[in-house]
Amino acid sequence: MAMSGWRSPGGEGRGQEPLSSPPEELPGAAALLETRNLLRILVAAVVIAALQAARDVFIPVILAVILSFVLSPLVNLLGRAGLRRVAAVVVSVVLALGLLGLVGTLIGRQAAGLAADAPRYARTIEQKIEGLQTLFAARLSAISTAFGIGRPPTPAPAASAPAANLETPAGPAGGTSEQKRPVLVEVVEPEDSTLVVVRSILAPVVGPLETTLIVFIVTIFTLLQREDLRDRFIRLAGSGDLHRTTLAIDDAGQRLSRYFVSQFLVNATFGLVVTLGLWAIGVPSPIVWGGLAGVLRFVPYIGALLAALAPIALAAAIDPGWSMVILVTGLFVVIEPVVAYVVEPLVYGHSTGLSPVAVIVAAVFWTWMWGPIGLILSTPITLCLVVMGRHVKSLEFVDILLGDRPALTPVETFYQRLLSGNREDALEMAEAALVDRPLLDYYETVVLGALRRAADDVARGALSRERALGVTKSMLAIIDELGEHEDPGTAGRAVVPHSRPSAGVVACVAGRGPLDEAASAMLAHLLQQRGVAATRVPYAAVRRERIVQFDLTDVAVVAVSSVALEGAPAHLRYLVRRLRGRLPKAPIVAGIWREGDALLTNAELQKTVGADAFVTSLRAAVDAVMPAPLPERSGAAVPLRSP
């Protein structure tokens, strides 16, 4: 009885053990997984509710953390200059406060001057609106006259009021009655106390000052206790591997600090350029609008648009014409693309590490949570979470969901496309990858890796034979499409054919497994690319009843491919024996593509198979059939007999 290639070792006896878990274990595992998922959802709901309820606490803390990242390079610089840490932190915070106060004073003075001229600007805008209404009315009237529509109807004569309505109603005795007059009621509010008046005046001022004070206090303590906070985070993240965790935290801190400093400098420069441009155009209070543009540019995607609305409206209020409006609009239209697509990639790379969808989703989420301040903080907060997720295992899901790195590896992506039958997408991926890498490298790392994953799925029963044949069919179609491919740097070169001492054809024979034909096709393609005469031989052509009819007269070397042996090489042994009977002098190379197969480490099994050499990679297989004798070539894992 022939041994099936789809069973585990010893699978023909009664004592065969199933590859999958026993059925009685599955309900318990499913229940445990469901409990974990529910627990995660519950934790996420609690965290979101806490963020929503304690927004007045979290906002100053997060602002302080971001400010500490911005001030950290300055603190380190002052520390290297000789200042102690406390002094360096105090000096850095004082400089930040001074800069903030200076900018606030300038903006306040500009805004005060702008408020004084507000009535004049309002009149100009009213005149422009009236002019636009007159223009549109004239155009509409001309169009109506041209098409003969829209003529006003003739007014109907007013009907005379009934005489009875003009008579004064009579009283009960026939005389006129006095009309009832409404009683006037005056609501007098009590005078506010001095404390209430003072509170109403100071409330709009005290709130922001209080938040600013909390932010700077938390920033000072964060900078002073930076090492202690880092140690506590390491303990929370996992202290099992202190070296790796410390490197991860330091790398994350440096990356975030560089990003925030770079973003602050870029947005400050953007605001300065806008200020100078508006000053040159003649827009009043350019410092106000430049500062507003610098702050609003922290808002992703729509920040620059929001910053442009107020100056454009002010330009329309100042200039009786439209030239100033056009100039201001052109200023933002020119500056924003230059900063976004030229300056930012040069300063901190082409990407922030966030996917575009993640930026939009984060902006919507944090705006819903914390309002406008949440919109400004959405990108920094999300970036912090993604950087932490790249280094902390427990937060890895954040990087997978929000990061810009591919969620699947190239091997996983290619295999998924094959499983879904989307060979066009898989072919596009292959052509894009082959632009800057050789075909052998792509076949070795991606396509062969996908075959190995398919073999693992076959071994554990997750992939049926029919679906495995579908994967092989898709791979063969992709390999045929890549038949005209030339590696980078070899275009236009003449390929010098290789020949063995006895010139002939290399027969790439597929094993009995459903995935073996794809591996033999890749090997044949690689050999043909190097000028070696290679042919693909399906397993059906070398079966016991048909191998006698198969023409092997020109074959000099045989390369047998087997992906899913599962440690039972009986069918491979019979195949090699049949080939040896037809080609007694031709060397036979066995390609065992599935890593970890028992045949690769068991010398007794290798002797029973009878091949001249065993290889585990396409590179080794290509080297094994090149002109030098097989035992002297690299890649012959176990040479058993000379060719």
**pLDDT above 60 (res 496):** no
Report the helix count and the strand count for the chain, using DSSP H and E.
Answer: 24, 5
- What percent of the chain stands above pLDDT 70? 74
**pLDDT above 50 (res 640):** no
φ, ψ for residue 484, nearest 5 deg: -95, 10
Confidence band, pLDDT 50/70/90 cuts, at residue 272: very high
Residue with the bigger pLDDT between 176 and 291: it is 291
Cross-strand pairs, 506:
534, 557
pLDDT by residue (tens digit) across 79-121? 888 888 889 888 988 888 888 888 778 777 777 766 666 677 7
Residue with the bigger pLDDT between 20 and 407: it is 407
**pLDDT above 50 (res 639):** no
CA distance 319 to 128: 10
CA distance 483 to 439: 11
Confidence band, pLDDT 50/70/90 cuts, at residue 1: very low
Instruction: Pick the closest to residue 373 from 71, 56, 68 (CA basis).
Output: 56
Q: What is the mean pLDDT of residues 2-8?
A: 36
**pLDDT above 80 (res 498):** no
Q: What is the mean pLDDT of residues 368-393?
A: 81
- When mean pLDDT is compared over 131-140, 253-262, 341-350, the highest value belongs to 253-262
Instruction: Pick the closest to residue 426 from 363, 478, 484 (CA basis).
Output: 478
Q: What is the mean pLDDT of residues 74-80?
A: 87
Q: What is the mean pLDDT of residues 119-142?
A: 72
Task: Tell me which of 131-145, 210-224, 329-343, 419-433 is least confident.
Answer: 131-145
The residue ranges of every structural domain in the chain are 64-132+209-226, 415-487+499-632
At residue 29, the pLDDT reads: 62
Written as one string, the DSSP assignment of 152-204 is PPPPPPPPPPPHHHHSPPB-TTSSBPPPPPPPP----PPPPPHHHHHHHHHHH
Task: Tell me which of 36-45, 593-602, 628-637 is least confident.
Answer: 628-637
Helix orientation angle between 286-296 and 242-281, rounded to the nearest 10 degrees:
150
Q: For the whole model, what pTM was predicted?
A: 0.62
**pLDDT above 70 (res 172):** no
Q: Which amino acid is at 465?
A: R
Cross-strand pairs, 560:
509, 590
Cross-strand pairs, 354:
403
**pLDDT above 90 (res 273):** yes
User: Buried b vs exposed e over 376-393: b needs ≥16 C-beta within 10 Å?
Assistant: bbbbbbbbbbbbbbbbbe
Sign of the C-alpha dihedral, residues 441, 446, 447, 452? positive
Cross-strand pairs, 183:
none
Name the percent of the chain in helix, strand, coil, to the closest 5.
65, 5, 30
Q: What is the mean pLDDT of residues 62-91?
A: 87
Contact 418, 450 (CB under 8 A): yes
At residue 25, the pLDDT reads: 44
Q: Reading across the β-sheet that carries 505-510, which strands appear in turn?
A: 534-537, 505-510, 555-562, 588-592, 613-615
CA distance 531 to 495: 6
**pLDDT above 70 (res 143):** yes
**pLDDT above 60 (res 60):** yes
CATH of domain 415-487+499-632: 3.40.50.280
pLDDT by residue (tens digit) across 573-617? 888 888 888 888 888 888 887 776 667 677 777 777 878 888 888
CA distance 507 to 536: 6
Q: What is the mean pLDDT of residues 393-399?
A: 77
**pLDDT above 70 (res 503):** no
Tokens of residue 635, six digits: 């890649």
Cross-strand pairs, 558:
507, 588
Confidence band, pLDDT 50/70/90 cuts, at residue 19: very low
Contact 419, 471 (CB under 8 A): yes
**pLDDT above 90 (res 55):** no
Residue with the bigger pLDDT between 287 and 197: it is 287
At residue 331, the pLDDT reads: 92
**pLDDT above 70 (res 523):** yes
Cross-strand pairs, 170:
176
At residue 42, the pLDDT reads: 87
